[in-house]
Structure 1
Amino acid sequence: MKLQGVLPALVTPFDASNNINFDAMADIIEHQLKAGVSGFVGMGTTGENYALSDDERLQVLGFLRETVGDRGTLIAGANGGCTSEVIDRIKAVRDTGYTNILVAPPYYALPSQEELINHYEQILEAVQDINVVLYNYPVRTNVEVGYDVLETFKDHERVIGIKESSGDLLRGIRIGTDYKDNYQLSCGSDDQAFDFFIWGATSWICGPANCFPDQICEFYRRFTAGDRDGAQAIMQSLFPVIAQMEEGKFIQKVKYGCELAGFNPGGCRAPLLPLTDDEKRRFRAAFEAING
Structure 2
Amino acid sequence: MQMKGILPALVTPFDASGAVDHDTLADILEFQLKAGVSGFVPLGSTGEYYALTHDERRAILKTVREVVGDRGELIGGANGSCTREVIEQVRLVRDAGYRNVLIAPPYYALPSQEELIGHYEAILDAVPDVDIVLYNYPVRTNVEVGFGVLDVFKDNPRVIGIKESSGNLLRAIEIGEKYKGSYQLSCGSDDQALDFFLWGATSWICGPANCFASHVVDFYTKFSAGDIRGAQDVMRKLFPVMATMEAGKFVQKVKYGCELAGFKVGNARLPLKPLTDAEKAEFRTVYEASQA
Relative to the length of structure 1, the TM-score reads 0.99
**How many residues end up aligned between the 2 structures?**
292
Q: Give me the whole-angstrom Cα distance separating, in 1, the residues matched to 2:80 and 2:280.
A: 32
Matches within 5 A, 1:30-41: 30-41=30-41
Aligned to 2:228: 228
Matches within 5 A, 1:24-103: 24-103=24-103
Q: Give me the whole-angstrom Cα distance separating, in 2, the residues matched to 1:5 and 1:73.
A: 10
Deviations 1:234-269 (A, max 9, x none): 001000000000111100000000000011111110
Structure 2 counterpart of 1:16, one-letter code: A
Q: Give me the whole-angstrom Cα distance separating, in 2, the residues matched to 1:92 and 1:241.
A: 35
> Post-superposition shift, 1:122?
0.5
Aligned to 2:187: 187
Aligned to 1:170: 170
Deviations 1:144-184 (A, max 9, x none): 00000000000000000000000000010000001011000
Deviations 1:57-91 (A, max 9, x none): 11101110011000000000000111011111111
Aligned to 2:131: 131
Structure 1: 5+ residue runs without aligned partners? none
Q: Give me the whole-angstrom Cα distance separating, in 2, the residues matched to 1:89 and 1:43.
A: 10
Aligned to 1:148: 148
Structure 2 counterpart of 1:163, one-letter code: K
Paired-residue identity, % = 67
Aligned to 1:117: 117
Aligned to 1:272: 272
Q: Give me the whole-angstrom Cα distance separating, in 2, the residues matched to 1:84 and 1:276.
A: 38
Matches within 5 A, 1:239-258: 239-258=239-258
Structure 2 counterpart of 1:264, one-letter code: K
Q: Are 1:107 and 2:107 an aligned pair?
A: yes
Q: Give me the whole-angstrom Cα distance separating, in 2, the residues matched to 1:142 and 1:110.
A: 7
3-state SS of 1:111 partner: coil
Aligned to 1:7: 7
Q: Give me the whole-angstrom Cα distance separating, in 2, the residues matched to 1:61 and 1:99.
A: 12
Deviations 1:34-63 (A, max 9, x none): 000000000000000000011111110111
3-state SS of 2:2 partner: coil
Q: Give me the whole-angstrom Cα distance separating, in 2, the residues matched to 1:283 and 1:84.
A: 40
Q: Give me the whole-angstrom Cα distance separating, in 2, the residues matched to 1:288 and 1:89.
A: 38
Deviations 1:91-114 (A, max 9, x none): 121011000000000010000000
Aligned to 1:288: 288
Q: Give me the whole-angstrom Cα distance separating, in 2, the residues matched to 1:123 and 1:31.
A: 34
3-state SS of 2:75 partner: strand
Aligned to 2:218: 218
3-state SS of 1:7 partner: strand
Structure 1 outlier segments of 4+, above 6 Å: none
Q: Give me the whole-angstrom Cα distance separating, in 2, the residues matched to 1:233 and 1:23.
A: 34
Q: Give me the whole-angstrom Cα distance separating, in 1, the residues matched to 2:171 and 2:45.
A: 21
3-state SS of 1:274 partner: coil
3-state SS of 1:215 partner: helix
Deviates more, 1:80-89 or 1:154-163: 80-89
> Post-superposition shift, 1:291?
1.6
Structure 1 counterpart of 2:86, one-letter code: V
3-state SS of 2:258 partner: helix
Q: CA RMSD in A?
A: 0.5
> Post-superposition shift, 1:274?
0.4
3-state SS of 2:123 partner: helix
> Post-superposition shift, 1:290?
1.5
Deviations 1:179-216 (A, max 9, x none): 01100000000000000000000000000000000010
